[in-house]
């Protein structure tokens, strides 16, 4: 039986500051270390997976991810870039990684298109949707 870790986060160099928030201020040393690990999509991550007995990680972009981007067009472009990068990493290690797409929920039609592209063309397994987009929660009227 394989051991699979869900919601295993990563970040790209372009988006590393999006997740910093209060963590980088309150605990800058911990955030630096966490950021370093989130940026590593192969080397140390694979070594740590082996040490933990984890066969597969399902990778998703660290919160708040694309959903923190104030500009919808920029969010669409960043989601495409992140999902392409993720698909490339998975293609290099298909037995070790699967992925959830990042979606630009600032533009719902574009998000639906990106989900379809990510699953059908890139082979991602679905999407991870964070609790809010630009501070507006999903159940907000």
Q: What is the pLDDT along the chain (141 residues), one digit of tens a residue?
A: 999 999 899 988 888 766 555 455 556 677 778 888 888 888 899 999 999 999 999 999 987 788 888 899 999 999 999 999 999 999 999 999 999 999 999 999 999 999 999 999 999 999 988 766 666 666 677
Query: What is the predicted pLDDT for the residue at 18?
Result: 62
Measured CA to CA, the distance from residue 81 to residue 91 in angstroms comes to 15
| DSSP category for residue 97 | E
Domain borders along the chain are: 4-122
Cβ 87 vs Cβ 33: under 8 Å:
no
Contacts with 63 (C-beta within 8 Å, 6 or more apart), sequence order: 9, 19, 130
Measured CA to CA, the distance from residue 35 to residue 100 in angstroms comes to 19
Query: What is the predicted pLDDT for the residue at 30?
Result: 76
Query: What is the predicted pLDDT for the residue at 22?
Result: 47
CATH T-level assignment (fold) for domain 4-122: TIM Barrel (3.20.20)
Cβ 65 vs Cβ 18: under 8 Å:
yes
């Amino acid at each position: 039986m394989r051991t699979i870790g869900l919601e295993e986060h990563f970040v790209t160099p372009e988006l590393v500051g999006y997740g910093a928030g209060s963590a980088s201020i309150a605990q800058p040393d911990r955030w630096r270390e966490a950021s370093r690990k989130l940026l590593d999509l192969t080397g140390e991550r694979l070594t740590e997976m082996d040490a933990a007995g984890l066969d597969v990680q399902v990778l998703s972009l660290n919160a708040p991810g694309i959903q923190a981007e104030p500009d919808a067009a920029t969010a669409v472009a960043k989601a495409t870039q992140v999902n392409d990068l993720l698909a490339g990493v998975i293609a290099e290690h298909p037995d070790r990684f699967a992925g959830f797409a990042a979606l630009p929920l600032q533009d719902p039609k574009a998000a639906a298109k990106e989900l379809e592209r990510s699953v059908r063309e890139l082979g991602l397994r679905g999407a991870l949707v964070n609790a809010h987009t630009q501070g507006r929660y999903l159940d907000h009227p």
